[in-house]
């Protein structure tokens, strides 16, 4: 009988240490919510996850950029809506000015309003900004004033309508880009989560199992260390 080396105690202690390490890893995963906390956990998975995280961050920034572009277009659209209303008012005034019953004073008042409207339109087109950038610099528009004819004002209305249509088409395109990138972003996040995040229910079961095995090993280790002592007592 071998009593110099307690093989059962050595084996039990080895199992105890192994289960303690497993329980410690499970606790780390449960506390972090991650299946992969370091390269040693899954080197290939970590590499894929990091690449995905970089792509996810890039898509998120592109989404923000696109949303800013839409906000800029909406600012331009709001300004053009005001310009359109002003041009309609100018057309009305030009027609009104042809009224043969109006006195010269009435004509002057109309010309004054036309001049103010024309100046306001020029100011809106040149000064409307989004984040410090003028948003209407690219549109084609011929200035109108008190001397403009009905046809010239009508041409201005057409130019503004064309600009609004172009901005609307740009916004629709950008909104499609947002929808596509948002879907891709969500799918990529889900894929990255499957690689890196821990299954909480499964890991909790693993943690519980390892704790039970640790407790069992502690009990067996206590018994294993007592066996040689009992044998020595019998031999005395």
Higher-confidence position of 3 and 147: 147
Higher-confidence position of 214 and 199: 214
Higher-confidence position of 218 and 65: 65
Q: Which of 215, 212, 213, 202 is nearest to 29 (CA)?
A: 202
Higher-confidence position of 172 and 217: 172
Which pLDDT score, from 0 to 100, does residue 199 have? 67
Q: Which long-range contacts (CB under 8 A, 24 or more apart) does 169-178 make?
A: 170/69, 170/73, 171/70, 171/73, 171/74, 171/77, 174/66, 174/69, 174/70, 174/73, 175/70, 177/66, 178/63, 178/66, 178/67, 178/70
pLDDT, mean over the chain: 87
Indicate the pLDDT class of residue 232, thresholds 50, 70 and 90. Answer: very low
Choice among 37-41, 46-50, 212-216, 227-231 with the minimum mean pLDDT: 227-231
Which pLDDT score, from 0 to 100, does residue 219 have? 77
| pLDDT > 90: percent of the chain | 61
Please name the CATH architecture into which domain 41-197 falls. Answer: Up-down Bundle (1.20)
Angle 141-147-151 (CA atoms, 0-180°, nearest 5)? 55
Indicate the pLDDT class of residue 227, thresholds 50, 70 and 90. Answer: low
Higher-confidence position of 209 and 50: 50
pLDDT in tens, 168-208: 999 999 999 999 999 999 999 999 988 887 767 776 887 78
pLDDT in tens, 54-85: 999 999 999 999 999 999 999 999 999 999 99
pLDDT in tens, 109-142: 999 999 999 999 999 999 999 999 999 999 999 9
């Amino acid at each position: 009988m071998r009593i110099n080396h307690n093989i059962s105690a050595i084996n039990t202690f080895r199992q105890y240490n192994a289960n303690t390490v497993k329980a410690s890893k499970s606790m780390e995963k449960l506390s972090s919510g991650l299946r992969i906390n370091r390269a040693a956990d899954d080197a290939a998975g970590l590499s894929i996850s990091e690449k995905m995280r970089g792509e996810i961050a890039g898509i998120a920034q592109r989404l923000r950029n696109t949303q800013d572009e839409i906000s800029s277009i909406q600012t331009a659209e709001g300004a053009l809506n005001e310009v359109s209303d002003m041009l309609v008012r100018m057309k009305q005034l030009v027609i009104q000015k042809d009224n043969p019953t109006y006195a010269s004073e009435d004509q002057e008042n109309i010309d004054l309003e036309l001049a103010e409207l024309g100046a306001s339109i020029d100011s809106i087109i040149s000064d409307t900004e989004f984040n410090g950038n003028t948003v209407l610099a690219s549109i084609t528009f011929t200035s109108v004033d008190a001397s403009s004819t009905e046809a010239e004002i009508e041409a201005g209305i057409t130019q503004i309508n064309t600009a609004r249509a172009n901005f609307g088409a740009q916004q629709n395109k950008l909104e499609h880009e947002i929808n596509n990138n948002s879907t891709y972003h969500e799918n990529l996040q889900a894929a990255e989560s499957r690689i890196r995040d821990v299954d909480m229910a499964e890991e909790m079961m693993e943690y519980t199992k390892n704790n039970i095995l640790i407790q069992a090993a502690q009990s067996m280790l206590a018994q294993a260390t007592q066996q040689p002592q009992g044998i020595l007592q019998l031999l005395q």
